[in-house]
Amino acid sequence: KAGVTQTPRYLIKTRGQQVTLSCSPISGHRSVSWYQQTPGQGLQFLFEYFSETQRNKGNFPGRFSGRQFSNSRSEMNVSTLELGDSALYLCASSLQLGTAWGSGANVLTFGAGSRLTVL
C-alpha cells in the first residue's frame, strides 16, 4: 500500500510569507505527527493529530499550526516566515494513538519530507 505522502517536496519562500504543507498518511492510519529537522537543532517534534484533534504539541511559537481532516490527511501552516524556519519538515503516521504493549500499531512511518527554504 502507498506510504506517507508529503507535498510539496521542495519550496522556496521569502521572509514574511506563509506556507502550507500537506501530509497524506498511510491508508487506515489515524495519527499524524510533524517534525522539523535542521542542522542546528536536529529533529524536533512539532505536533500530533488524531481524530482531527491536536493531541500533543512541541515547543514552537504560535506561527506554527496544523490541522487534520476527517480523512486523516493533515496540513501544517507556518505564518510570517523567518529565515530560521528553513528546514526539512517530516510527517509521520501511525495506526493509532496509544501505548499498547507489543503492538506495532504505534510505530511511526515517515514521509520523504518537504524541504522549505526561506530567503
Partner 1 sequence: AQTVTQSQPEMSVQEAETVTLSCTYDTSESDYYLFWYKQPPSRQMILVIRQEAYKQQNATENRFSVNFQKAAKSFSLKISDSQLGDAAMYFCAYRSAETSGSRLTFGEGTQLTVNP
Q: Which residues bind partner 1 (CB under 8 A)?
A: 31, 33, 35, 42-43, 45, 48, 55-56, 58, 88, 90, 92, 94, 97-99, 101-102, 106-113, 115
Rounded Cα–Cα distance for residues 29 and 96 (Å): 7
Rounded Cα–Cα distance for residues 91 and 25 (Å): 8
Cell 501505548 sits on residue:
99
Closer to partner 1 by Cβ: residue 14 or 117: 117
CB of 109 to partner 1, least distance (A): 7
Burial code (b: 16+ CB inside 10 Å, e: under 16) for 71-90 equals ebbbbbebeebeeebbbebb
CB of 16 to partner 1, least distance (A): 27
**HEC letters along 3-14:** CCEEECCEEEEC
Taking residue 95's Cβ as centre, other Cβ atoms within 10 Å add up to 19
CB of 95 to partner 1, least distance (A): 10
Closer to partner 1 by Cβ: residue 61 or 98: 98
Closer to partner 1 by Cβ: residue 10 or 70: 10
CB of 80 to partner 1, least distance (A): 26
Closer to partner 1 by Cβ: residue 86 or 106: 106
